[in-house]
Chain A
Amino acid sequence: AQSVTQLDSHVSVSEGTPVLLRCNYSSSYSPSLFWYVQHPNKGLQLLLKYTSAATLVKGINGFEAEFKKSETSFHLTKPSAHMSDAAEYFCVVSDTDTGTASKLTFGTGTRLQVTL
């Protein structure tokens, strides 16, 4: 069975300071890993994805994440937070399949607060 654990339910940073959102995963197969963002009253948007290519993945809006198999981690980072980054962030895992789509398993989410 696949699962993800988001280690912080709430993170608060000052604008202009680095962001770190932590995620650990568990998967029986070679996983695909994603980070999605959900702004209030808006749909889920993909930030970035890892699918067994480069272990350092760059996404939209300056976010990136590093896949570390030895630590079973996929932490999300950004060098400098912006007020517009305030949202709910979900770490997501999907078991890789050869040809068919696969369901996503979401973490419980981390709410990022950005203060002036």
Chain B
Amino acid sequence: GAGVSQSPRYKVAKRGQDVALRCDPISGHVSLFWYQQALGQGPEFLTYFQNEAQLDKSGLPSDRFFAERPEGSVSTLKIQRTQQEDSAVYLCASSQAGASYEQYFGPGTRLTVT
């Protein structure tokens, strides 16, 4: 079946604009994660959903970042009033429930804020 897909793959935003990044997880995967990968760094956790419930948002860097998964499938990460430091690759991953299950990653959305 299809893997995790993300759109858009590339996004250029002017500072101050709002952006929305979409993630389509693998069908049937209960858990969904968002990570942020700055240039030359490893991914860092942003937030986690189990079905439609956002169980952990401790990694969101500011209140400009907001994520939702209203029907327990597709998720959207929204960044308001983008800043240059928001430039990064945003990765989405999905998995079955349980810590031992592999997280499958999407290709990411590369956000550049000018």
Chain A residues within 8 Å of B, Cβ to Cβ: 32, 36, 42-46, 49, 51, 90, 94-109
List B residues 18-70 near A (Cβ within 8 Å): 30-31, 33, 35, 40-45, 48, 50, 55-56, 59
**A100 & B97 in contact (Cβ 8 Å cutoff):** yes
Whether B75 is near chain A, meaning CB under 8 Å from some CB there, is no
Q: Which residues of A contact B45 (CB under 8 A)?
A: 103-105
Across the interface, name the chain A residue whose C-beta is closest to B4. Answer: A43
How many chain B residues touch A (CB < 8 A): the figure is: 31
Q: How far is the CA of A101 from the CA of B108 in the complex (A)?
A: 21
Chain B residues within 8 Å of A, Cβ to Cβ: 3-4, 30-31, 33, 35, 40-45, 48, 50, 55-56, 59, 91, 93, 95, 97-103, 105-108
Q: Is the interface of B mostly helix, strand, loop or mixed?
A: loop
Other A-B pairs beyond A103-B59, A104-B45, 19, CB < 8 Å? A43-B3, A44-B43, A44-B105, A46-B102, A46-B103, A49-B100, A51-B99, A96-B99, A100-B50, A100-B97, A100-B98, A101-B33, A101-B48, A101-B98, A102-B99, A103-B48, A104-B93, A106-B42, A109-B41
Q: Which residues of A contact B55 (CB under 8 A)?
A: 100
Q: Which residues of B contact A49 (CB under 8 A)?
A: 100, 102
Q: How far is the CA of A46 from the CA of B104 in the complex (A)?
A: 8
Q: Which residues of B contact A100 (CB under 8 A)?
A: 31, 50, 55, 97-99
Q: Which residues of A contact B30 (CB under 8 A)?
A: 101
Q: Give min CB distance, B72 to chain A, whole Å.
A: 14
Q: Which residues of B contact A95 (CB under 8 A)?
A: 99
